[in-house]
Structure 1
Amino acid sequence: MQRTVNRVLLALVGLLLLAVGGAVLAVGLGVEPPSWWLHQGRHDVLLSTAERTRWRGEGWWWPVVIAALAVLVLLALWWLAAVLRRRRLREVLVDTGDGAGATLRGRALEHALAADAGGLEGVAHARAHLKGRRTAPQARLRLRMEPHVDPGTALRELADGPLAHAREAAALPALPAEVRLRTVSHKAERVT
């Protein structure tokens, strides 16, 4: 979801900047602008002195400008933090029973879970990602299934096999999982 929102926002900002920049460049090169455009010729400025200083004497102007800029900065920082935030769990805390505990690399558990899920009957390819907290991880699996496999049966085998093995190996009380199933599309081949 966040990846889609990020791409849509970047596309909208890019299109807006491209349209405005292209229009200013076109007018600067001598293309006749429409009557509603910001400036009317290649020697006209975007904002005249009168337009830039028109609201300066009003008491509400500067607080509104500062508030709008502050909101823009906060939105930009939120967006940057969302993009830079780690989406994968780096390590899982394993309760060893002696009170000390141990840590398990998240990538190692992901690879083991994907390999175990990939070994199930009818699974052509498996990918696993861990998210959440290191004391309560959550798994996200993507499985490419052969067309003949029943999804319900595949989910039961996944829950009883690879997910149960990962939960027991990491000594986790629970390992919630989000599973996305897709079928493999085979290319048509001519039989002679």
Structure 2
Amino acid sequence: MNAVLRTVNRLLTGLVGLALLLLGGSVLAIGLGAKPPSWWIHDGRHDVLLSDAQRTRWRDAGWWWPAVIAVLAVLVLLALWWLIANLRRRRLAEVLVRTGEGDGALLRGRALESVFVADASELEGVSDAHVRLTGNRTAPRARVRLRLEPHVDPEDALHHLTTRALAHARDSAGLAELPTEVRLTGVKHRARRVS
């Protein structure tokens, strides 16, 4: 997904930049007195880009306004998709594991997350664990969310998480450090009537 988004970003930036450069450069050149080619969209210094006839050409056609609205709606949806895809926090796809002097191997981020979740779930009193890796592949960061049973002391759970699951994930990936944000929540049980 990150590679697709990167490609879309580069393509959109390049196309918009090229269109703005061509249009702005041509308007500037013609405004300074350059003679445009015969096929260009405007003829001279005092010419407008769209004449009254061109602007009102399809106004009375029944298909015109639905087509304009449909195209604009698609453009708005694509712009929203692009904005949301760029603003959301990305999951780390891979982690660089140092194997020796200058050597390294790539470890899938989801594989490290699943091992981290398995280790965290084995801690006593943890009913649910979620781990998400962010950052970049040479300096990953972890976000951990643990749901604790009511009888568990949060300080003990945090100590066990850092000394066991976090240490295991950090050591297995060969990382000097793995900055981690931990959120602890309690499990809420429904009250039951006892007869």
TM-score computed with the length of structure 1 as normaliser = 0.57
Indicate yes or no: 2:133 matched with 1:154.
no
Deviation per CA, 1:127-166: give whole Å up to 9, x if none: 1000001001000011000111111111111100000000
| 3-state SS of 1:88 partner | coil
Distance 1:94 1:78 in 2: 36
Task: Name the residue aligned to 1:5.
Answer: none
Q: Rate the CA distance shift 1:86–1:179 in 2: closer, same or farther, 3 A.
A: closer
The letter for the 2-side match of 1:172 is L
Task: Name the residue aligned to 2:136.
Answer: 133
- Please state how far the C-alpha of 1:82 moved relative to its aligned partner: 4.9
- Please state how far the C-alpha of 1:97 moved relative to its aligned partner: 1.0
Task: Name the residue aligned to 2:184.
Answer: 181
Distance 2:84 2:176 in 1: 29
User: Which residues of structure 1 form unaligned runs of 5+?
Assistant: 1-75
Distance 1:181 1:165 in 2: 20
Distance 1:150 1:86 in 2: 31
Distance 1:127 1:191 in 2: 34
Contact 2:89/2:134 (<8 A) preserved: no
Q: Matches of residues 1-192 of structure 1 in structure 2 within 5 Å?
A: 80-84=82-86, 87-192=90-195
Consecutive aligned runs of 4 or more in structure 1 exceeding 6 Å deviation:
76-79
Corresponding pairs, count: 118
Distance 2:141 2:91 in 1: 10
Give the superposed CA RMSD. Answer: 2.1
User: Which residues of structure 2 form unaligned runs of 5+?
Assistant: 1-77
Select between 98-107 and 125-134 the one with higher mean Cα deviation: 98-107
Distance 2:122 2:177 in 1: 22
Percent identity over the alignment is: 58
Deviation per CA, 1:35-67: give whole Å up to 9, x if none: xxxxxxxxxxxxxxxxxxxxxxxxxxxxxxxxx
Deviation per CA, 1:78-116: give whole Å up to 9, x if none: 983453466100000000015321000000000110111
TM-score computed with the length of structure 2 as normaliser = 0.56
